[in-house]
A and B are shown apart, each in its own frame.
Chain A
């Protein structure tokens, strides 16, 4: 018998992401809206991103024999941010923009294209939901 893959709705994904962020960042449930930014609105610091990944892996594991894993640099591609070919003087280079778009189909880049200041690039709750939706539901 094959393994049945249970689809999970976007609402269910959002609810779990909300729980994860409430616990990881100590914020209220009402603050975790789809458009809330992780750093700006929810106060996430660098170490919180690893905590969020750990908690998401736990929350979305349904079978402990096959734990759900988020590979390094897939949800938050730090290797791109730290590569001088892609980010120079805090500005995302054209090559960097192309790389980010390729690597992060779950991210909305409309603001970053207007102003490629890497410090203004903001992950939102929706970025995480989009990523999980694609990963879990294909």
Chain B
């Protein structure tokens, strides 16, 4: 299994906002492990899906030159369970962006239902952790993440 918790972008406005969707399938192993007989998506993985959506948005804002790391979950409020067959939409909006990092406000929905409100903070680690050194290559934005954006741009055939 791959550590990727969004299926595709449906909206991407550089430096502003992005929306990704995730189809939840009973074929996913982890759904059977949390509460056997009552498959739901763990809230921690809903946060991870928002972090991946928002992380790519924040990374793109600096041409994927920064190593963007989830630094803080400011708030995560959940209103509804997510079950197999649901399609989650992760809508992330950049609140603040600086050379050191970014803050994000996000909403997760299934159809018209609000699932969660999530606030995240990302750090550009090379800018913040003085004295520590990290690998030269950008280990955050591997191909599987940049492919998502490439697919969106191909599908929408727009120059952004």
Complex contacts, A50 vs chain B, CB 8 Å: 71, 98, 100-101, 121, 123, 128
Q: Give residues of chain B (81-128) contacting chain A, Cβ–Cβ below 8 Å.
A: 95-96, 98-101, 103, 121, 123, 128
B contact set with A: CB distance below 8 Å: 71-72, 74, 95-96, 98-101, 103, 121, 123, 128, 130-131
The A contact surface, by secondary structure, is: helix
Given contacts A78-B130, A82-B130, A82-B131, contact A51 B121 (CB under 8 A): yes
With the chains together, A57 CA to B103 CA distance in Å?
12
A48 at the interface (CB under 8 A from B): yes
Q: B95 touching A72 by the CB < 8 A rule?
A: no
Task: State which of A23, A24, A58, A72 has its C-beta within 8 Å of the C-beta of B100.
Answer: A72
Shortest distance between the CB of A69 and any CB in chain B (Å): 9
Question: In whole angstroms, how far apart are the Cα atoms of A72 and B127 in the complex?
Answer: 11
Contact pick for A58, options B95, B130, B131, CB 8 Å: B95
How many pairs, one residue from A and one from B, have CB atoms within 8 Å of each other in the complex?
34
Cβ of A47 and Cβ of B123 under 8 Å apart? yes
A45 nearest in chain B by CB position: B72
Contact of B74 among A51, A72, A78, A82 (CB under 8 A): A51
CB-CB under 8 A from B74, the residues of chain A are 23-24, 51
Assess the A51–B103 pair: CB atoms within 8 A.
yes
Q: List the A side residues contacting B99 at CB < 8 Å.
A: 72
- In the bound complex, residues from chain B placing their C-beta under 8 Å from that of A51 are 72, 74, 103, 121
In the assembled complex, which residues on chain B have CB atoms less than 8 Å from the CB atom of A58? 95-96
Interface membership of chain A positions 76-105, coded 1 if the CB is closer than 8 angstroms to chain B and 0 otherwise: 001000100000000000000000000000
Among residues of B, the one whose C-beta sits closest to the C-beta of A48 is: B72
10 pairs of A and B residues whose beta carbons are closest in the complex: A82-B130, A54-B96, A47-B71, A54-B103, A51-B121, A50-B100, A50-B101, A47-B72, A51-B72, A47-B123
